[in-house]
Amino acid sequence: MLRCASTATRDCDLACSGLRRSRGDYVRAEALANECLALSRPIDYRDGLVHGLINLAIVKQHTDREDEARAHYREAQELTADPSTPTHWRAVLLNNLGNAALEDHDYAEARALFEEALELNRRNDLPFHVANCLVDLGMVDLAEHDLVHAADRFGECLSISHAYGFWELATWAFEGIAGIAVAADDASRGAQLLGSASAIQERAGIAGGYYPVAVELRERTIDEARRLLGKAGYEASWLEGRQLGLEEAIGVARRVLD
């Protein structure tokens, strides 16, 4: 029995890993989430259950099945309220509920959920999840034109991502800092950071479109940068950014924040 549970746990963890790699591919993500749940329910494997439910809820949100998404979130909330469920899963759930509020442009609700998740992640010493929450809070600040707090959030996220190699999160920080740069009339650096972020995402095979608020803010940044630089000037700076090495791009981001 123990060996069977161990095998199911391993297989479930592999499915969860696949979920992380399949963002943006909702057909594959839904199949993997259901696989996680099928493997986890017989052995009451809380990591797999909560992870599967949250990812299934995200898929349903993005494929216009809101009622089903809410049902999955409710089940995940019940599980994370159980003391036997590892506490970091409550933070993950809060973060995802925050993203749902963010997509609805309910910034006050999103901020409250992200801040609670951030506090839990700091307490549990989980650098990736801390950095992820900081990106989300930075996006809230940027959406509300609070550049001072956005700079603090994205700057800390970039430092953590650089230290631990969280390059996907670093690209979102680059895009957020690009928005700060353009808002401060430093459109050339903003365009460079957008170019660098796109190059890193392409090399890493990071799917686009699954983080709607980032797409929305990116488009806002691009439109303003083009207005300030002109189409040719924007394209030139964007291409320069695509040629930057990672350390060079971090240097550009730091100069924006200084």
Give a yes or no: residue 12 inside a domain.
yes
Give a yes or no: residue 187 inside a domain.
no
Give a yes or no: residue 256 inside a domain.
no
Range of the domain at 50: 1-86
What's the rounded Cα separation, in Å, for the pair 171 and 129? Answer: 15
* Tens digit of pLDDT at every position of the chain (258 positions): 344 545 555 655 555 555 554 556 778 778 888 888 888 888 888 888 888 898 888 888 878 898 999 899 999 999 999 888 888 889 989 998 998 898 889 999 999 999 999 999 999 999 999 999 999 999 999 999 999 999 999 999 999 999 999 988 999 999 999 999 999 999 999 999 999 999 988 887 776 555 678 888 999 999 999 999 999 999 999 999 999 999 999 999 999 999
Give a yes or no: residue 221 inside a domain.
no
What's the rounded Cα separation, in Å, for the pair 139 and 212? Answer: 11
Give a yes or no: residue 225 inside a domain.
no
The CATH code of the domain that includes 71 is: 1.25.40
Give a yes or no: residue 107 inside a domain.
no
Give a yes or no: residue 196 inside a domain.
no
Query: What's the domain count of the chain?
Result: 1
Nearest residue to 97 via CA among 140, 48, 57:
57
